[in-house]
Amino acid sequence: MTAARVLVIEDGREYVDGFARLASAKGSGAGFERAGSLAEALDALREGKPDAVFLDVVFDRTPEAELAGDLEPLVARYGGDRARAVRHLAANQGFYVLDALADALAGVRVVLAYDFTGEEKRLASLRERVPGLSGLRDGASLGTALEDLLRSP
């Protein structure tokens, strides 16, 4: 395991704290940086491309104004129901962040906290834009997730 730089994008600190503790215990030397929104993730990416990105899916603690994604087409899709549109954005925020960062993440390993078992075609369709994408399989511990993030390409 090399000293890697990992960007963790999540609305809380569940993952980043856990990864940092585990990595430290294993003496991996990996560095973890947290971004709580797309804007923060872009800031982090401007400072340099990370070796890996971990991306949570549900961002229900994020203020509406900070959610990535175009709200208006969703409001139209939901017949003018803005609240529904916002809920949709929050529940799928990881996908929207992924979509917005797709180009910037070329060549980067990306682990999305979503289990694609039974939805392999969905994963394949997302990989067309983000080839380094994988899901977080069922039963994976934090340690396994960390190994996925830090494994050699």
Partner 1 sequence: MLGPVLALALAAAPAPPACEEDAEQLAEAAAAVLAASPGDAEALGRARDLLRRARLSTLWPPLALTLRAADLAAAAGDADDEARLLQAAARDAPELLSAPDRLVLARQAEARGDRRDAILQYGHVLTAMERRGRPSGAWIGERIRRLDAEEEARSVAVRPGFAPPTGEARAAFAEGKAFLGRGATAGARDAFRRALRISPGYVEAALALGTLEERDGRDVEAAAAFRTALAADPDRFDAVLALANLLWNEPDRPAKEESLGLLDRAIALKPELPRLVREAADRWAAWGDPARALERLDAWRATATSAGRVATDAFREKLAASLVRPSEKGAGSVAVAEASAAAPSFRLAQVYLRRGDASGAGQAQHELEEAVRLDPAFVPAWELLATVRSQAGDAAGTESALRRALDVDPSRASAWERLAALLEARPGRGAEARTAWETAEQAGSREALYALGRLAAADGSGMQAVAWWRRYLAEVPDGLHMDEARAAVERMDRRFQTLRGGGIGLAAFGVALGAGLVLRRRRGLTLAEWLRRDPGAAREVRPLVGRLAHEVFKHGGLLLGDAGERLSSGDDFRPSAEILAVRLYGSGAGPGLVAEGRAALEDLAALGRRRGATLNLRHKDPLFLAVAAAFDALDAAHDDLASLAAGRALPERRRAALAARLVRAAEALNPRAAQELNRLVDAAGSTAITWEALAGLLAAVAREKGAPLPALEPIGLFADGAAPLRVKLPGAECETIFRNLFANALASPRLALRAEARRDPVTGQAQGRFVLYDADPRPLTAEMIHGRAAERGLGVVADVVRRWDGAVDVVPGAPGYLKGVSVEFAVVEEAS
**Which of 3, 39, 43, 83 touches partner 1 (CB under 8 A)?**
83
Answer yes or no whether residue 142 interacts with partner 1 by CB under 8 A.
yes
Q: Which stretch binds partner 1 (CB under 8 A): 1-9, 27-35, 42-50, 110-118?
A: 110-118
Cα 133 to Cα 69: distance, rounded to the nearest angstrom: 19
Distance in Å, CB of 29 to partner 1, minimum? 17
Among 14, 29, 43, 151, binds partner 1 (CB under 8 A): 14
CB neighbourhood size of 102 (10 A): 16
Our finding on whether 63 is near partner 1 (CB under 8 A) is no
Give the dihedral sign, CA 89/143/105/40. Answer: positive
- Beta bridge partners, 31, equal 5
Stretch that binds partner 1, among 34-42, 45-53, 71-79, 103-111 (CB under 8 A): 71-79
Instruction: Say if residues 110 and 132 touch (Cβ distance below 8 Å).
Output: yes
- Tokens describing residue 128: 């067309």
Tell me: does residue 95 bind partner 1 (CB under 8 A): yes
Nearest to 41 by CA among 30, 49, 127, 150: 49
The one-letter amino acid at 25: A
Asked whether position 78 contacts partner 1 by CB under 8 A, the answer is yes
Part in contact with partner 1 (CB under 8 A); list of ranges 34-42, 43-51, 78-86, 103-111 = 78-86
